[in-house]
Amino acid sequence: MPLIAILAGDGIGPEVTAQARRVLDALGLDFSYQEALVGGVAYHQLGHPLPPATLELAKRSDAILFGAVGDPSCDGLERSLRPEQAILGLRKELGLFANLRPATLFKGLEDASALRPEVASAIDLVIVRETNGDVYFGDKGIRTTAAGRREGYDIMSYDEDEVTRIARVGFETARTRQRRLCSIDKANVLETSQLWRDVVIALSADYPDVELTHMYVDNAAMQLVRNPGQFDVIVTGNLFGDILSDQASMCAGSIGMLPSATLNGSGQGLYEPIHGSAPDIAGQGKANPCAAILSAAMMLRHSLGMPEAADRIEAAVAAAILGGARTPDLGGTLSTAAMGDAVLAQIG
Ligand code: GGG
């Protein structure tokens, strides 16, 4: 029986994860679940955002269903103890380097999209974001300059093997879709991006059936809004992918609609909504659980070998949305649990 580690985390994480769990339970399949603390709540109760028992559970699980981390009460802590270090630590410790972030506008959500109506329905893309390198993991600190001023630094780096393995995920993902891959970088300014581009071009020889294009990240941010239909699969680094996927989420109606899968190539994966802990609405039943529910669907497809069950969940979310179910982020009034009910009512 597959073991699912439930790491609900902070803020709205437990609320949305609970709805994903209800939907999984309704499928009538056999899973075993184990829960552990992560993020700010883990720091407060156990002294570390990623306690050893949580990491140990994550390592032996078949898949991790993750909520969100982030807690304003931890703002003054040194960086290694901040809640966000839990998700970075899990990605590094488990080698989870490929973060797939699909952004699609569900039918019925056209009004919620931040895009102009004539282009809104065209958004249907996957962002493949690298999550083991870049400025998130490079040497960093605050030092004193010769002039006596404090200077912060975060080193951006990728080696060619790291670029090759994420680019390969990009090409392979494109092969499951429309065979168009756009690699996003800042190669006109950054050395890291020049290497990135060279490596992606070299790898493209293995994928003659995939159309490869390149775009600077600033242009990509603009093109995403101007003409989202030009994108099929985007492959990019950790920082650019983090930013562009939040932007893409508003094109798809709400950050509450975007799920993600982070994979390490072994079959194991971590599944989480792309949104954070949203402390401003935590505990109020206002959060949209769709991204968490859709993350559970990605888990069934990518880690648990249950694509039909994944299809059932995705179809149920689509039907609930088409039927008018809306949480406040989508302009509606449903509570988190009521949105979960609306999805459950559609599970066939
Ligand atoms: N569920 C996503 C989440 O908790 N995000 C908080 C965060 O700090 N994420 C950092 C990242 O995605 O790189």
User: For atom 9 of ligand 1, which residue has the closest CA?
Assistant: 84
CA of 178 to the centre of ligand 1 (A): 29
Q: Does domain 114-251 have CATH number 3.40.718.10?
A: yes
Q: Which atom of ligand 1 is the closest one to the Cα of 136?
A: 13
φ, ψ dihedrals at 182, nearest 5°: -110, 120
Q: Is the CB of 70 under 6 A from ligand 1?
A: yes
Q: In the CATH scheme, what is the code of domain 1-103+257-348?
A: 3.40.718.10
Radius of gyration of the chain (CA): 20
Residue closest to 5 by CA, chosen among 38, 35, 30 = 35
CA of 278 to the centre of ligand 1 (A): 11
| Annotated catalytic residue 161 | no
CA of 67 to the centre of ligand 1 (A): 9
Task: State the average pLDDT over residues 196-200.
Answer: 98
Using CB atoms within 10 Å of the CB of residue 36, give its burial: 0 to 12 exposed, 13 to 18 middle, 19+ buried.
buried
| Annotated catalytic residue 186 | yes
Task: State the average pLDDT over residues 316-325.
Answer: 98
| pLDDT score recorded for residue 348 | 75
**Helices within the chain (DSSP H only):** 13-26, 40-46, 52-60, 84-93, 117-120, 160-175, 191-203, 217-226, 238-251, 290-302, 307-322, 336-344
Instruction: Reply yes or no on whether the pLDDT at 192 is more than 80.
Output: yes
Tell me the pLDDT of the chain averaged across its residues: 97
Task: State the average pLDDT over residues 266-288.
Answer: 97
| Annotated catalytic residue 218 | yes
Residue closest to 91 by CA, chosen among 64, 72, 128, 60 = 64
Residue closest to 105 by CA, chosen among 304, 211, 314, 251 = 251
Query: Which tokens go with 170?
Result: 């990009």
For residue range 137-182, what is the model confidence (pLDDT) as tens digits? Answer: 999 999 999 999 999 999 999 999 999 999 999 999 999 999 999 9
Task: State the average pLDDT over residues 195-210.
Answer: 98
Q: Is the CB of 272 under 6 A from ligand 1?
A: yes
For residue range 81-101, what is the model confidence (pLDDT) as tens digits? Answer: 999 999 999 999 999 999 999
Residue ranges, CATH 3.40.718.10, the chain:
1-103+257-348, 114-251
Cα gap 241→264, rounded to integer Å: 17
Query: Which tokens go with 235?
Result: 């492959």
Q: Is the CB of 276 under 6 A from ligand 1?
A: yes
Q: Which of 136, 158, 207, 216 is catalytic?
A: 136
| Annotated catalytic residue 136 | yes
Task: State the average pLDDT over residues 68-85.
Answer: 96
Q: Which atom of ligand 1 is the closest one to the Cα of 66?
A: 1
Confidence of residue 215 (pLDDT cuts 50, 70, 90): very high
∠ CA 221-253-41, nearest 5°, is: 90
